[in-house]
Amino acid sequence: MSQLQFDAGRARSLEAVYLTPDVVAQRARVLDLVGASVGERILDIGVGPGLLAYDLARLVGERGSVAGVDPSSAMIEAAALRVRDLPHATMHVGDARALPFDDGAFDAAVSTQVYEYVDDMPRALDELRRVLAPRGRALILDTDWRSIVWHSSDAARMERVLECWDDHLFDPHLPARLGPMLRKAGFTVRWVEILPMLAPRWQPTSYPGGMFGLIHAYVREHGDRFGLDPDEIASWYEDQLDLIRRDEFFFSVNRYIFVADR
């Protein structure tokens, strides 16, 4: 696989996707399910540009605390800038498989679109359980890319494009296995729901609109390993633009939210 490297440029692109209305709505649902209370200690694993951490810090207030951790220094810089006026929110470079926090340090933890990148999920979930206090809770959100429905004039070519995109993840189908993994790690799974990212028509300021550009860039860089030459990638891209012009664009993929108790 060839994981995405979140340098400053890619971090800005991802942040733009996170600010689209559909992802803002996703964040609101995550906040609702986490149920953060004043005074709680909350960990954001894979904090990214810090949008969720900022909201959590405002919910727990100065009597509480929020810690964000991410392996990307560019993401941590962006997150630290976002929470600069909230001294009870701290950002740390770190790894989900070796969290830099004490045992039982948090009342709750959230991880959105992170664990599908992790190559050792048993270890990551053991770490998650370790840093949670007794009766602490965790919310995990990840995508199963088998659920994608993306209209194309050439289905076989689209399949190769998506196969290439899957390669940037350690597990593009994690949600199907996440429940048993959580139970084996000692969690009680309390709630599971689907959160669809749906665009029945083209909308540039949307999750699909942003992902179109990110996927195109990734496939241009790595497509040769999946039998995609530059001309074929260009044809795929032009086909999508043509579908947009004809008002025939369609994109849908499912994300899955798991809420579990320690």
Residue 9: the pLDDT is 63
Residue 8: the pLDDT is 62
Stretch 57-75: mean pLDDT, rounded? 96
Is 170 within 8 Å of 1 (Cβ atoms)?
yes
H-helix or E-strand containing 82? Answer: helix 73-82
Is 58 within 8 Å of 27 (Cβ atoms)?
no
With 90 as the cut, is the pLDDT of residue 82 above it?
Answer: yes
With 60 as the cut, is the pLDDT of residue 28 above it?
Answer: yes
Residue 16: the pLDDT is 81
Residue 102: the pLDDT is 98
Structure tokens at 30: 């995550």
pLDDT confidence bin for 19, thresholds 50/70/90: confident
Q: For residues 9 and 171, which has the higher predicted lDDT (pLDDT)?
A: 171
Lowest mean pLDDT among 6-15, 83-92, 104-113, 223-232: 6-15
With 60 as the cut, is the pLDDT of residue 3 above it?
Answer: no
Q: Which residues contact 74 (CB under 8 A, 6 or more apart)?
A: 6, 7, 8, 10, 11
CA distance 153 to 157: 9
Structure tokens at 20: 């689209």
Residue 11: the pLDDT is 65
Cα angle 173, 179, 184 (rounded to 5 degrees) comes to: 120
What are residue 193's DSSP bridge partners?
257
**Strand runs labelled E in the chain:** 41-45, 65-70, 89-93, 106-112, 132-143, 149-150, 188-199, 251-261
Stretch 150-172: mean pLDDT, rounded? 96
Structure tokens at 109: 């933890």
For each of the domains in the chain, give its residue range(s) and CATH number, in order of start. Answer: 8-261 (3.40.50.150)
Specify the amino acid at residue 53: A
Residue 13: the pLDDT is 72
SS3 state at 111: strand
Give the pLDDT confidence of 191-202 residue by residue, as tens digits. 999 999 999 999
With 80 as the cut, is the pLDDT of residue 70 above it?
Answer: yes
Evaluated on CA atoms 71, 72, 77, 78, the torsion sign reads: negative
Distances (CA, A) of 126 to 9, 70, 137, 140: 33, 17, 14, 14
Structure tokens at 167: 């390669």
pLDDT confidence bin for 239, thresholds 50/70/90: very high
The total of other beta-carbon atoms located within 10 Å of residue 25's CB is 13
Three-class HEC string of 25-41: HHHHHHHHHHCCCCCCE
With 60 as the cut, is the pLDDT of residue 2 above it?
Answer: no
Summary count for the chain: helices (H), strands (E): 9, 8
pLDDT confidence bin for 18, thresholds 50/70/90: confident
SS3 state at 19: coil
Length of the chain: 262
Residue 4: the pLDDT is 55
Give the pLDDT confidence of 182-192 residue by residue, as tens digits. 999 999 999 99
What is the average pLDDT score of the chain? Answer: 94
Give the pLDDT confidence of 85-137 residue by residue, as tens digits. 999 999 999 999 999 999 999 999 999 999 999 999 999 999 999 999 999 99
Stretch 232-257: mean pLDDT, rounded? 98
Q: Which residues contact 102 (CB under 8 A, 6 or more apart)?
A: 131
With 70 as the cut, is the pLDDT of residue 156 above it?
Answer: yes
Q: 26: exposed, middle or buried (C-beta count within 10 Å: 0-12, 13-18, 19+)? A: buried
Closest among 176, 168, 163 to 254, alpha carbons compared:
176
Structure tokens at 134: 């007794």
